[in-house]
């Protein structure tokens, strides 16, 4: 009876030793089955560019194979924006872009296979701004300064004279200065009248 129990215990111990010995090997092999992922993109996802890019660059966590690298760029009008097939360099896949593409929303789609045979697929978008709209907006203009308003006048005060004045200080009715000849003639007439008055007074005195 004791011999049977001993044999059963030995068989059970052997069955447990094999799985426990293989456990470290299985744990070490797990990273080899990790999925390939997109690490970075240029332009990046949801980026806003001032002009269309010359190329699309996608960097993955594992090295890629040129045979199974598929990358596409969809323009805002639904057309293809790629200028040629993608090029693979290690973990980076580069797609050349056509020149002169319009502004709007672009979609990058990819489906690639890593060197260890794991495929990865996905897509994202970025935007190209319209340079014409930015130029049309232009810098803000400064309004022209306004003239200062006239000071308030008290009731009964004469309005300010805006017409030109004559050399004697009096303004002409029409606002135009009087000619110098006319002013000189008036002064001569006044002087002649004063002289005649003096002569008359003298005669009156001698006659008396």
Instruction: Give residue-wise pLDDT tens across range 102-128.
Output: 999 999 999 998 877 888 899 999 999
Task: Please state which of the ranges 8-17, 19-28, 107-116 shows the lowest mean pLDDT.
Answer: 19-28
Residue 61 has pLDDT above 50, yes or no: yes
Contact 59, 76 (CB under 8 A): no
- CA 122, 125, 126, 128: dihedral to nearest 10 degrees? 130
Length of the chain, in residues? 208
Neighbours of 39 (CB within 10 A): 12
> How does the average pLDDT of the chain come out, rounded?
74
């Amino acid at each position: 009876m004791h011999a049977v129990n001993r044999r059963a215990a030995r068989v059970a111990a052997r069955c447990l030793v094999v799985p426990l010995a293989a456990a470290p090997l299985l744990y070490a092999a797990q990273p080899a089955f990790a999925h390939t992922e997109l690490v970075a993109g240029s332009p990046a996802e949801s980026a806003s560019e001032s002009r269309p890019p010359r190329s699309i660059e996608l960097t993955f966590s594992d090295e890629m194979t040129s045979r199974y690298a598929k990358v596409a760029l969809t323009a805002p009008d639904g057309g293809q924006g790629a200028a040629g097939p993608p090029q693979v360099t290690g973990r980076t896949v580069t797609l050349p872009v056509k020149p002169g593409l319009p502004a709007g929303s672009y979609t990058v789609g990819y489906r690639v296979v890593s060197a260890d045979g794991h495929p990865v697929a996905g897509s994202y978008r970025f935007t190209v701004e319209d340079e014409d709209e930015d130029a049309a907006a232009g810098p803000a203009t400064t309004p022209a300064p306004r003239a200062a308003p006239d000071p308030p006048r008290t009731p009964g005060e004469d309005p300010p004279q805006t017409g030109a004045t004559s050399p004697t200080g009096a303004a002409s009715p029409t606002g135009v200065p009087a000619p110098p000849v006319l002013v000189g003639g008036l002064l001569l007439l006044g002087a002649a009248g004063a002289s005649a008055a003096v002569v008359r007074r003298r005669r009156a005195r001698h006659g008396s």
